């Protein structure tokens, strides 16, 4: 259900097209996507690989510039942001990407603190690599993702699922207004993945501002149980955009059917 006009939108995409240059030509990753996410909403993106889920999240995060179309996130037009404004914007958007980007040589505590780089001065960031700052917040975040006592381990020594949860903890300490997560639980075992998705979604409940959660998932059941709305993507276009309970198995079958 789209948010009413009175409420501010967390994000709004209008006719967004993204072409990725490949070799001599281009591959159209998004082909005219319209999407509104209201404040406090939890939205899941479903679709087979190559449907454009990751690209859509990158566009909202300001990491990929659309070829055409308008993108407004947290009330700002992304295309107009540059330099410091873009960095400030990124510090308010929490991103978990598929390649979660945790240097394996760093201790877990530093990787979690990496979420705060946007809020920290350079001096503080450098000092923190020697004596980790905000230790209690880090421990709390690690506790919430079920990684108590692992703060001083080398990140590269953790399992794939544990590393994904470190990436979730990094977003928790970042305390962003908008959470974007690309397959945040693909390597987490099923029992824990429900908890982690719930945890990500609950970040919108703490302080109802313009907060919202947009995440791509591979598991439709997980999506139906935890989000308000499901957006199906197919070949760069929105195939359906419905309340989670309204999505039936026939829609999912045609969403994942081969072209």
Strand 237-243: give its sheet, edge to edge: 93-96, 178-182, 212-216, 42-46, 229-234, 237-243
- Decide: is 22 part of the binding site for another protein (CB under 8 A): yes
* Identified binder of another protein from the candidate list 28, 67, 76, 120, rule CB under 8 A: 120
**Per-residue DSSP letter, 156:** G
**Per-residue DSSP letter, 226:** H
Q: Minimal distance in Å, beta carbon 5 to another protein?
A: 30
Which pair of structure tokens corresponds to residue 200?
């990500």
Q: Which of the residues 61 through 100 are near another protein (CB under 8 A)?
A: 61, 63, 86-95, 97, 99-100
* Identified binder of another protein from the candidate list 24, 80, 105, 131, rule CB under 8 A: 105
**Exposed e or buried b for every residue in 126-158, given b needs 16+ CB within 10 A?**
eebeeebbbeebbbebbebbbbeebbeeebeeb
Instruction: Please count the residues of this chain forming the interface with another protein, following the rule CB under 8 A.
Output: 42
Q: Which is nearer to another protein, 3 or 119 (CB)?
A: 119
Q: Which is nearer to another protein, 99 or 257 (CB)?
A: 99
**Per-residue DSSP letter, 154:** B
What percent helix, strand, coil does the chain show, rounded to 5? 40, 25, 35
Distance CA 86, CA 96 (A): 18
Q: Minimal distance in Å, beta carbon 118 to another protein?
A: 3
Q: Minimal distance in Å, beta carbon 35 to another protein?
A: 20
Q: Which is nearer to another protein, 174 or 193 (CB)?
A: 174
User: In the complex, which residues of this chain contact another protein (CB under 8 A)?
Assistant: 22-23, 27, 49-50, 61, 63, 86-95, 97, 99-103, 105-106, 110, 114-120, 122, 125-126, 129, 154, 156-157, 170, 174
């Amino acid at each position: 259900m789209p948010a009413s006009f009175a409420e501010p939108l967390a994000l709004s995409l209008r006719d967004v097209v993204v072409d990725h240059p490949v070799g001599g030509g281009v591959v159209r990753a998004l082909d005219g996507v319209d999407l509104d996410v209201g404040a406090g909403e939890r939205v899941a993106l479903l679709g087979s690989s190559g449907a454009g889920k990751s690209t859509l999240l990158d566009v909202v995060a300001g990491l990929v510039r659309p070829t055409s179309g308008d993108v407004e996130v947290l009330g700002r037009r992304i295309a107009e942001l540059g330099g410091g404004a873009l960095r400030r914007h990124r510090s308010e958007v929490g991103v978990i990407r598929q390649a979660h980007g945790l240097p394996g040589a760093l201790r877990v505590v530093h990787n979690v603190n990496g979420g705060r780089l946007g809020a920290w001065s350079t001096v503080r960031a450098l000092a923190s690599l020697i004596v980790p700052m905000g230790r209690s917040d880090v421990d709390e975040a690690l506790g919430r993702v079920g990684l108590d006592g692992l703060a001083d381990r080398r990140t590269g020594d953790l399992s794939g699922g544990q590393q994904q949860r470190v990436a979730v903890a990094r977003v928790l300490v970042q305390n962003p207004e908008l959470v974007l997560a690309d397959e945040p639980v693909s390597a987490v075992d099923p029992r824990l993945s429900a908890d982690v998705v719930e945890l990500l979604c609950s970040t919108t409940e703490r302080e109802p501002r313009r907060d919202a959660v947009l995440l791509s998932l591979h598991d439709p059941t997980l999506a139906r149980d935890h989000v308000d709305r499901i957006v199906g993507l197919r070949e760069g276009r929105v195939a359906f955009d419905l309340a989670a309970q309204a999505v039936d198995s026939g829609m999912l079958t045609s969403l994942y059917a081969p072209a």
